[in-house]
Structures are given as structure tokens and as C-alpha cells.
């Protein structure tokens, strides 16, 4: 699977030292370009992703010797995706009118990989909304730890909302300390 930086979701950072353009997005250069001729010459099956989910994309991929394409953004915006219907509609409308702006944000994801952020009014893509968000457990264990009057930590987060990290932490019986929680989480 060969994915260009145009792909939705995470993308690989540029090779070498990460340089940012004036808008704060990673700059990809010649070292990031894929020589599809050389890949095809290996004789192994490959698929192309990142901006190929269009009417002509599959044809371009076949022409380059690929078996097919991997599509993400189009599926995220289709009726069957789990994305909120209102958000999907706004994203599709903005995209259709050519007004949709998507930035490749090198800081948005805790993984450290650049991550696509679509600019949609009233969502976390806006600085003010982001700054005003309810703080979650920065330790990544539980989403809403809070400190009880006696100083112990309570958890309101139902197990159905636990992240895989929460589940692992619970299995190891590790809990964030009161001091650690108090630095970022206030009682709720
Ligand atoms: C919302 C979203 C989430 C994604 N999550 C993952 C993921 O968890 N792992 C992964 O390998 N690729 C992920 N992708 C990338 C897709 O598998 C696919 O390679 C990419 O979206 C193709 O480019 P396109 O968005 O231009 O169609 C994601 C893409 C989107 C849009």
C-alpha cells in the first residue's frame, strides 16, 4: 500500500527533518516522491492511496501498474460511515462548493504523525473551541477522572467509553495518582 500525504487521517511525516511551511504544515519534498515505475518493476502487487478515491483515480492507479486503490475520505463521508450525519452533510457541502479547507496538522495527533483536520465552524478545528474543550485525562487512562472530597479519584467514565489504553491500564490495576489528575482535571 503506497499512500501519498494527501490521504485522509494520519500520514507519514516528510523524510528527514520536519520543515513547516508558513501555514504550519509539513513540507514534503523530492525524497517523499514515490517512483511508481520502480515499484511496479519489483513485480509485487501494490495499491495506491491518498487522493485516488475519485472517478479517474482507479484508472491512474491501474495505468501505474497498481492492483487497485485504497479509499478513505469518500467512505468517511458516505451514509454508512459512523460520522455524525450533520457533520457529514456540512463537510460534503463545503467540499462540493470548493470551500472545504483541510490542513495537515503536525500537532493534532498524540501519535506525532501529521493528521488531517477539516475546518468546520463550531468544531475542534477552531482554536477557540479547542481551547474551551472539556479537559480529558491527559494520562490517557480515563476520560473524566475527578477528585473526590477525601482526595481519592473517582471515575464517571462508563467502561463502554474506555479507550483501549484505559482497558489496558485497568487490567494492570494502574491508576493515575491524585496529584497527576489534579494538574489537569478538575472535579466535575
Ligand atoms: C477518517 C479516516 C481515518 C483513517 N484511519 C486510518 C487508520 O486508522 N489506519 C490506516 O492505516 N489508515 C487510515 N486512514 C487512511 C485510509 O485507510 C486511506 O489509506 C486513505 O484515506 C486514502 O486516501 P483518501 O482519503 O484520499 O481516500 C484513515 C482515513 C480517514 C479518512
- pLDDT tens digits, the chain, 188 residues: what are they? 999 999 999 999 999 998 999 999 999 999 999 999 999 999 999 999 999 999 899 999 999 999 999 999 999 999 999 999 999 999 999 999 999 999 999 988 878 899 999 999 999 999 999 877 765 554 444 445 555 666 665 555 556 655 665 666 667 666 544 444 343 333 33
What's the sign of the alpha-carbon dihedral 129, 130, 132, 135? Answer: positive
Q: What is the DSSP letter of 56?
A: T
Residue 89, phi then psi, degrees to nearest 5 = -60, -45
Question: Is 47 strand, coil or helix?
Answer: strand
Ligand 1 centroid to residue 141 C-alpha, Å: 25
Whose grid coordinates read 450533520?
Answer: 86
Put residue 133 in one of left, alpha, beta given phi > 0 → left and psi -120 to 50 → alpha: beta
Find, among 113, 95, 117, the residue nearest to 104 by Cα.
117
* Cα(132)–Cα(76) distance, integer angstroms: 26
How far is 149 from 30, CA to CA, in rounded Å?
A: 58
Q: Give the pLDDT of residue 184.
A: 37
Map residue 159 onto helix, strand or coil. helix
Q: What integer pLDDT is reported at residue 112 of this predicted model? A: 83
pLDDT at 107: 85
Task: Write out residues with Cβ below 6 Å of ligand 1.
Answer: 3, 6-9, 49-51, 53, 70-74, 76
Top mutation candidate among 10, 53, 72, 75 for ligand 1, by most atoms within 8 Å of CB: 72
116 C-alpha vs ligand 1 centroid, how far in Å? 10
- Name 102's bridge partners: 118
**Ligand 1 center to residue 3 CA distance, Å?**
9
What is the per-residue pLDDT for 128? 92
Distance CA 112, CA 96 (A): 31
Ligand 1 centroid – CA 181 distance (Å): 33
Amino acid at each position: 500500500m503506497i499512500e501519498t500525504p494527501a490521504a485522509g487521517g494520519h500520514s507519514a511525516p516528510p523524510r528527514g527533518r520536519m520543515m513547516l511551511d508558513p501555514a504550519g504544515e509539513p513540507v514534503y519534498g523530492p525524497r517523499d516522491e514515490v517512483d511508481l515505475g520502480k515499484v511496479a518493476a519489483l513485480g509485487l502487487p501494490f495499491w495506491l492511496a491518498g487522493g485516488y478515491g475519485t472517478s479517474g483515480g482507479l484508472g491512474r492507479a491501474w495505468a501505474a501498474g497498481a492492483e487497485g486503490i485504497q479509499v478513505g475520505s469518500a467512505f468517511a463521508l458516505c451514509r454508512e460511515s459512523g460520522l455524525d450525519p450533520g457533520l457529514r452533510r456540512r463537510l460534503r457541502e463545503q467540499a462540493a462548493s470548493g470551500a472545504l479547507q483541510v490542513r495537515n496538522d503536525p500537532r493534532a495527533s498524540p501519535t506525532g504523525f501529521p493528521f488531517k483536520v477539516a475546518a468546520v465552524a463550531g468544531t475542534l478545528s477552531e482554536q477557540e473551541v479547542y481551547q474551551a474543550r472539556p479537559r480529558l485525562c491527559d494520562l490517557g487512562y480515563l476520560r473524566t477522572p475527578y477528585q473526590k472530597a477525601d482526595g481519592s479519584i473517582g471515575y464517571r467514565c462508563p467502561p463502554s467509553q474506555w479507550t483501549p489504553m484505559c482497558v489496558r491500564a485497568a487490567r494492570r490495576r494502574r491508576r493515575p495518582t491524585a496529584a497527576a489528575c489534579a494538574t489537569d482535571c478538575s472535579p466535575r
